[in-house]
Structure 1
Amino acid sequence: MDERALGTTGYDVTEVGMGTWNVGSDWGEVSEDEGREAIRAALDAGITFLDTADVYGDGRSERLIREVLADHDAEPVVATKAGRRLDPHVAADYDREHLEKFVDRSLENLGVETLDLLQLHCPPTDAYYQPETFEALSGLVDEGKIAHYGVSVERCEEGLKAIEYPGVETVQIIANPLRQRPTELFFREADRRDVGVIVRVPLASGLLTGALDADTEFPEDDHRNYNRDGDAFDVGETFAGVPYDVGLEAVDELRPAVPEEWSMAQFTLRWILDFDAVTTVIPGSTNPEHVRANAAASRLRSLSDEERATVTEVYDESVREYVHHRW
């Protein structure tokens, strides 16, 4: 698999990584054995970037990564996140005291002395206007508890503000054929500033796998059931913020553009990777076959002008009005 430089961190990581939200929680019942098997499949496929968070299963995802790595030769870059353990989740508490406590917990969960990359976990917008928050992160670097830091954002404006701070080396953001606004100004600015871009929710919570339909039922503890209206967290995290029926219709409109030998998921991942600003894309899955197929997208050709034009047309005509102005 091809590798790309992760901003100025000094890490080279595979352009297809793995997100482990699915392994931790919020996607229905997943056993620990299934979680470990999925992580192992990613490493066996050559993936060298794993993304997790301290709240995924209350640390379960981090712990499973530690357990798999203890018995595997791979040495991937492991990125985790902090901040969502705050209750209430307020910008003022993105301070040294709270962040250090969260970092210490992640260090224990992952069984390491230094975190490769710590990302603020979609904090309130006001946190991006608090220099003391980023000073706290720099202090944790100086102390040796984290090697590098970045942010995971909901909105392009948050990402643009974050990269004004010189210590922010990466930004994680949602982008896919159903969420195209980041590919405009944000991608250009991140590329210009040599900031690593980590693309999450690339498959729009499964919509862009092409495997869902109007009759698909989701478990009670799956965010695709309980967060469709944003009742638990930002609605943009579920189906990329696109109303489910609208998303299904858009996927059907995209199908004719997908090469016969490709899956819809591979087509989607390749569309994202064709942007030079993107460092890595982090689809999540607990199915080892899907993990391997996602990794294989790295070896596919770039999309043709005609294929990309179809993606643009579907977005402009069917999806843009629902998402473009919001994120």
Structure 2
Amino acid sequence: METRQLGRSGPVVSALGLGCMSLSGVYGESNDEEAVSLIRHGLDQGVTLLDSADMYGWGQNEDLVGRAIAGRRDEVVLATKFGQVRSETGQGVNGRPEYVRQACEASLRRLKVDVIDLYYQHRVDPRVPIEETVGAMADLVRQGKVRYLGLSEARPETIRRAHSVHPISAVQTEFSLLYRQEAEETLRTTRELGIGFVAYSPLGRGFLAGGIHDRDQVKGDRRAQHPRFQAEHFAHNRALVDRVEVLARDKGCTPAQLVLAWLLAQGPDVVPIPGTKRRERLDDNLGALQVHLSAEDVTRISDTVPAGAASGQRYPDMATVYR
């Protein structure tokens, strides 16, 4: 398994990690026993970076990840996130220092570990200065409860302010061939500061894998709420995926492998974390590590689906994202 380092002094991880969100019923029904088996299969294949969050299944995801790594803790770089909370209106954000400590203790209990390797603030809380939130996260490092710190969906200026308080090892932002403008903007800052970049939703929430041909295929799961899958955007985005499928056939690989290889080729500081509920899909994703792209290939792929070509914003409500 190829490895990459997150940040100048951060953890060394597998070049492809495993995003665990889909194991909590976000994209249709999931089964805990199958999820545990999938994670262990990933470990068997050399995947070391597991990415969870306390809001995935509101604790259920961390519980099953903890079960899956029991007896194999030394094989794992364990990442989880805090900061998204239930509220009267459905969901909110909390970055208060006292909540940081409370959330960490709860995650440690669910994961059944003594230390979290990489602890992210899931969403920036605009009501709390980032310096205060990261200061509390830094206290967790000093207490030995967390090894490295990360941010998710943070703007460049927020990253700079956070990094001035305590070294940030990784920033996690959606990054795929379909949605990359904010990620590429963020990359300029993370590279300047020596921070690793973790690309979540690298397959465009499954769109880029090529298997979604009809909006009914996402009916009943969270993707149906995302603009990219809605009627006014779906056909346009599906046409972009058609282009990717042609390139993949020319390269002799699957569409998922092509776009993951394209992401890996963006630089050694980029680590995609595709998620799946299916073992065969996990194996297919790992096949991207065997797809070798020339500089000309990378340019051709980039030009086939130019930045900004996708239709529809990334989330139904962008107010809590990228700030």
Q: How many angstroms does 1:167 deviate by?
A: 2.6
Which residue identity does 1:105 align to in structure 2?
A
1:223 paired residue number: 222
Take 1:310 and 1:281, find their aligned partners in 2: how far apart are those partners? 17
2:296 paired residue number: 305
Which residue identity does 1:228 align to in structure 2?
H
Coordinate RMSD, CA, aligned: 2.7
Take 2:130 and 2:73, find their aligned partners in 1: how far apart are those partners? 40
2:235 paired residue number: 245
Judge conservation of contact 2:276–2:282 (CA < 8 Å) in 1. yes
3-state SS in 2 of match to 1:315: coil
1:112 paired residue number: 113
Which residue identity does 1:16 align to in structure 2?
L
Unaligned runs of 5+ in 2: none
Judge conservation of contact 1:160–1:186 (CA < 8 Å) in 2. no
Change (3 A) 1:288 1:167: same
Take 1:243 and 1:160, find their aligned partners in 2: how far apart are those partners? 35
Judge conservation of contact 1:125–1:158 (CA < 8 Å) in 2. no
Change (3 A) 1:97 1:41: same
Q: How many angstroms does 1:177 deviate by?
A: 0.7
Judge conservation of contact 2:206–2:212 (CA < 8 Å) in 1. yes
Question: Alignment partner for residue 314 of structure 1, among 305, 318, 321?
Answer: 305
User: Is residue 2:130 matched to residue 1:140?
Assistant: no
Take 2:156 and 2:312, find their aligned partners in 1: how far apart are those partners? 16
User: Is residue 2:247 matched to residue 1:257?
Assistant: yes
Q: How many angstroms does 1:60 deviate by?
A: 1.5
2:49 paired residue number: 49
Change (3 A) 1:95 1:183: closer
Judge conservation of contact 1:24–1:59 (CA < 8 Å) in 2. no
Change (3 A) 1:215 1:121: closer
Take 2:58 and 2:92, find their aligned partners in 1: how far apart are those partners? 19
Q: How many residues align?
A: 312
1:179 paired residue number: 179
Cα-to-partner distance string for 1:193-233 (whole Å, 9 max, x where unaligned): 2101111000001100011112542242x1112x224xxxx
Relative to structure 2, which stretch is displaced further, 161-170 or 248-257? 161-170
Cα-to-partner distance string for 1:245-303 (whole Å, 9 max, x where unaligned): 22211111222222342110000101111111534110000110111121221232124
Question: Alignment partner for residue 277 of structure 2, among 286, 295, 298?
Answer: 286
Cα-to-partner distance string for 1:75-127 (whole Å, 9 max, x where unaligned): 11010000112537666x41221111111110001111111111001224555
Take 1:94 and 1:216, find their aligned partners in 2: how far apart are those partners? 37
1:152 paired residue number: 152
Unaligned runs of 5+ in 1: 230-237
Which residue identity does 1:270 align to in structure 2?
A
User: Is residue 2:97 matched to residue 1:96?
Assistant: yes
Judge conservation of contact 1:43–1:74 (CA < 8 Å) in 2. no
Take 1:197 and 1:144, find their aligned partners in 2: how far apart are those partners? 24
1:78 paired residue number: 78
Take 1:53 and 1:187, find their aligned partners in 2: how far apart are those partners? 23
Take 1:276 and 1:114, find their aligned partners in 2: how far apart are those partners? 29
Take 1:319 and 1:165, find their aligned partners in 2: how far apart are those partners? 36
2:196 paired residue number: 196
Relative to structure 2, which stretch is displaced further, 62-71 or 17-26? 62-71
Which residue identity does 2:223 align to in structure 1?
R
Which residue identity does 2:22 align to in structure 1?
N
